Amino acid sequence: MYFDTHAHYDDEAFDADRDATLASMPDRGISLIVNPGCNLTSSRTALELSRRYPFVYAAVGVHPHDAEGMKEGDLDTLRELASQERVVAIGEIGLDYYYDRSPRQVQKERFREQMALAAELNLPVIIHDREAHEDCLNIVREFKNVRGVYHCYSGSLEQAKVLVRLGWYLSFTGAVTYKNARRAHEVISWMPGDRLMLETDSPYLTPVPHRGKRNDSGYLHLIAETAASLRGVCAEEIAAMTLENGKRFFGIS
């Protein structure tokens, strides 16, 4: 059984068949899913889904794309949401310098505010870092008591070694099945097994051979098979290891 540690079932791509898709997951080998929020609305939806499906847990947070839209009082609302049962992390939060949909200084301010909230509530964080590796790592280092995972890890092997030394986890998506995934392959081959997690980032980043279609957690086994091949083990070993890693990280018994 697999743990999809990052999937967006609140996304409009699932509006037509969300319940049917989620209901099918246990039969497709998925035992646990974490649905992160990207703003207050999606965080609330993630929480609602976690209350309807016993294998779904929620994370709440404001994505860097939405950082500029945060207004006074939103952090208090986020604190209230994060205090609810079945919320296991703050996320996804971080920096995105690829799209730059919010000014970079605003992104950094909102990132720091949410890292401080995670420290206050003793919750782990789910990090979004796109083309912002140095600034993201510098902010992570400011919060020594916050533990977290870099979702859809895209950094270098050198940065991965720094993060693992800091006690952080790295998570990988269907992008590892793409032809240009050499850097991710290098990291997966090297990294300690107890810091590895897998995710689909559904409905995005669908693995080969289904690339171009809507993604869902049922394709997680394709990511595991790639990781297994890189590490010289079987997919079942990767499934068991990443399931335990995810449960430990999110505090799910």
pLDDT of residue 221: 98
What's the confidence (pLDDT) of residue 115? Answer: 99
Residue 133 labelled as part of a binding site? no
Q: Where does 73-157 show beta strands of DSSP type E?
A: 87-96, 125-130, 148-150
State how far the Cα of 226 lies from the Cα of 219, in Å rounded to an integer.
12
Query: What pLDDT is recorded for position 231?
Result: 98
Per-residue pLDDT at 121: 98
Calpha distance 133→238 (Å, rounded):
27
List the beta strands (DSSP E) in 133-194.
Answer: 148-150, 169-172
Task: Give whole-number Cα distances, 131 to 35, 80, 103, 138, in Å.
Answer: 23, 31, 14, 14
pLDDT tens per residue across span 171-195: 999 999 999 999 999 999 999 999 9
pLDDT at position 3, please? 99
Q: How many helices (DSSP H) and strands (DSSP E) are in the chain? A: 9, 8
> Binding residue per annotation — 92?
yes
Match 């939806």 to its residue by tokens: 45
Instruction: For residue 123, give the amino acid letter.
Output: L
d(CA 202, CA 97): 21
pLDDT for res 39: 98
Q: What is the distance between the alpha carbons of residues 207 and 139, in angstroms, rounded to a whole number?
A: 31
Give the chain's residues under pLDDT 50. none
Known binding residue 63? Answer is no
* Cβ atoms of residues 119 and 146 within 8 Å: yes
- pLDDT for the residue numbered 129: 98
Task: Please report how the helices 182-190 and 220-231 are oriented relative to each other, as an axis angle in degrees rounded to 10.
Answer: 70
Q: Are 76 and 116 in contact (CB under 8 A)?
A: no
128 labelled ligand-binding = yes
Q: What pLDDT score was predicted for residue 108?
A: 99
Identify the structural domains of the chain with CATH numbers, from first to last: 2-250 (3.20.20.140)
- What is the predicted pLDDT for the residue at 107? 98
